[in-house]
Amino acid sequence: MRIVGWVLVVLVAVAAALTLKPDLAGAVVPSWGDLSVTFPFSQAIAVRILPAAVFGIIAVIVLVVGLVRKFGFRAGNHSLVLALVLALVAVGHFWFLWDRGLQNPEELRPDRGVRPAGEGDGTITVVSYNTQVGRTGADGIAGVAEDTGADVIALTETGPELAEQIASFLEGGGESFQVFTSGEGDGEGGQGDPEGDEQDAEQASVGATALLVSSTLGEYAQAESPATEFGSVRAEPASGVGPVLVVVHAVPPLREQHERWRADLETILELCSDSGPGGLVLAGDFNATLDHAPMQDLGRCADAGVAAEVGGVSTWPTRLPELVGSPIDHVLVDTEAYETTQGRVVERGESDHRGLVMRIRPLEPRTD
């Protein structure tokens, strides 16, 4: 019976440890090698704090049982060992978040980058926000941009009208913004029920994506963007000098569209491969965390949030504390062209997403 007990302890311990890195199960069963992108495991791994809490609570319960058995019945070694393993797994899950960064600053240091008055040190401020079809409105996004000196504003679930409103809000600050949109979200409907038309418009805006580029970066031109289910936008500097800007929105990993989600991530992250554009800044709602397999190898890119030590802070949903949700919004940058100097996670308006503000500095001075 003792042998059976230890076998059970080992099996439970291995299963618990594999939750830290589910895809390692592929070493045992090859078909399990993509558990992190398999429903429903893809949902569970997206919220690291959940397994950390669950394993922590179970570890305490098993520890109490083990101590009672140890001192009351001269047994309980199995339980004590298992409690230790479960506690280590809980700590491991939390460590992933801690290592990516949980220190979200109240504000960023002064902006020394490109402004209408000059280039400064060349630092570019990137704001990325899922407005949830305008629930965070033009004033909210413009407020974030003005407070942080944004040069690039990447917006998902944002139609052309809202994007233009944001640009208009910002014109009073002495600089103008070019507006690029995915062409989705116009909200064109028939002559039917007004309520139905409103629902159609909102549904269209879910797939709409927009990009605002400050005049301080020079003139930009729209280019072919990734072919994803939702809209995406790509803009490149007309002069050839400056970052290549791409805004994306992957579909959520719901059961009925899980394969589409995986395909979207593959298409998006192809931009970070050796064949992708140099000087890439890729931002948006990936609907994936760094624990999902496609996000674990970013090629030439790096997650700016991790570099800024806020990569573990949740961006969705806002109804939960920053530590509890999922960091599914990202700004990825070409590590051969840029380094991240600062970053923070912000919350404005009524969107169910928090936004990202990242400052990136060119590794070589910009030249015109």
User: Quick one: 318 and 251 in the same domain?
Assistant: yes
Residue 111 lies in a domain: no
User: Quick one: 129 and 58 in the same domain?
Assistant: no
As a whole-number percent, the residues of the chain with pLDDT over 90 amount to: 74
pLDDT in tens, 176-233: 999 999 964 333 333 344 454 455 556 667 889 999 999 999 999 999 999 999 999 9
Helix (H) or strand (E) run with residue 139 in it: helix 138-148
d(CA 329, CA 125): 16
Cβ-Cβ contacts under 8 Å for 15 (sequence gap 6 or more) = none
pLDDT in tens, 11-23: 999 999 999 988 8
User: What's the DSSP call for residue 151?
Assistant: S
pLDDT of residue 193: 47
User: Quick one: 92 and 237 in the same domain?
Assistant: no
User: Quick one: 87 and 159 in the same domain?
Assistant: no
User: Quick one: 222 and 286 in the same domain?
Assistant: yes
d(CA 368, CA 366): 7
Asked which of 30-39, 160-169, 288-297, 328-337 is least confident by mean pLDDT, the reply is 30-39
CATH number at residue 230: 3.60.10.10
Q: Which three-class secondary structure state does DSSP give residue 29? A: coil
Nearest residue to 152 (alpha-carbon basis) of 352, 359, 366: 359
The answer on pLDDT for 173 being more than 70 is no
User: Quick one: 86 and 147 in the same domain?
Assistant: no
Which comes out higher in pLDDT, residue 70 or 292? 292
Asked which of 62-71, 127-136, 278-287 is least confident by mean pLDDT, the reply is 62-71
Mean pLDDT of 229-240: 96
For the chain, give the mean pLDDT. 89
Number of helices (H) and strands (E), helices first, in the chain? 9, 12
User: Quick one: 81 and 160 in the same domain?
Assistant: no
Q: What is the pTM of this model?
A: 0.89
Helical residues (DSSP H) of 19-105, grouped into ranges: 41-45, 49-73, 77-100
Which comes out higher in pLDDT, residue 40 or 55? 55
Length of the chain, in residues: 368
- Please report how many Cα atoms fall inside a 13 Å half-sphere around the Cα of residue 282, on the Cβ side: 29
User: Quick one: 140 and 230 in the same domain?
Assistant: yes
Residue 115 lies in a domain: no
User: Quick one: 165 and 307 in the same domain?
Assistant: yes
Cβ-Cβ contacts under 8 Å for 318 (sequence gap 6 or more) = 325, 347, 351, 352, 353, 354
Q: Which three-class secondary structure state does DSSP give residue 164? A: helix
Of 85, 100, 115, the position where a domain reaches its end is: 100
User: Quick one: 191 and 335 in the same domain?
Assistant: yes
Which comes out higher in pLDDT, residue 155 or 74? 155
Cβ-Cβ contacts under 8 Å for 237 (sequence gap 6 or more) = 217, 218, 219, 220, 221, 243, 244
In the numeric block, the tokens 């070409």 are attached to 334
How many folded domains does the chain comprise?
A: 2
In the numeric block, the tokens 């791409």 are attached to 246
Mean pLDDT of 60-73: 87
Residue 113 lies in a domain: no
Residue 145 lies in a domain: yes
Residue 46 lies in a domain: yes
Mean pLDDT of 147-168: 96
Positive or negative: CA dihedral 43, 47, 49, 50: negative
Range of the domain at 300: 124-362
If you write DSSP's letter for every residue of 166-228 in order, what string do you get? HHHHHHTTT--EEEEE-S-------SS-HHHHHHHHHHHHHT-EEEEEEGGG--EEEE-----
Residue 119 lies in a domain: no
Nearest residue to 300 (alpha-carbon basis) of 278, 320, 284: 278
Residue 108 lies in a domain: no
pLDDT in tens, 97-109: 999 999 999 999 9
User: Quick one: 273 and 320 in the same domain?
Assistant: yes
Q: Is the peptide bond before 105 cis (omega within 30 degrees of 0)?
A: no
Residue 219 lies in a domain: yes
Phi first, then psi: give them for residue 73, nearest 5 degrees. -130, 10
In the numeric block, the tokens 């309520």 are attached to 195
Q: Which three-class secondary structure state does DSSP give residue 161? A: helix
Nearest residue to 343 (alpha-carbon basis) of 306, 315, 368, 316: 306
User: Quick one: 267 and 192 in the same domain?
Assistant: yes
pLDDT of residue 188: 34
193 token code pair = 């029920």
pLDDT in tens, 317-360: 999 999 999 999 999 999 999 999 999 999 999 999 999 999 99
239 token code pair = 């002069």
Q: Which three-class secondary structure state does DSSP give residue 120? A: coil
Nearest residue to 329 (alpha-carbon basis) of 147, 125, 154: 154
Are 17 and 89 in contact by the 8 Å Cβ rule? The answer is yes
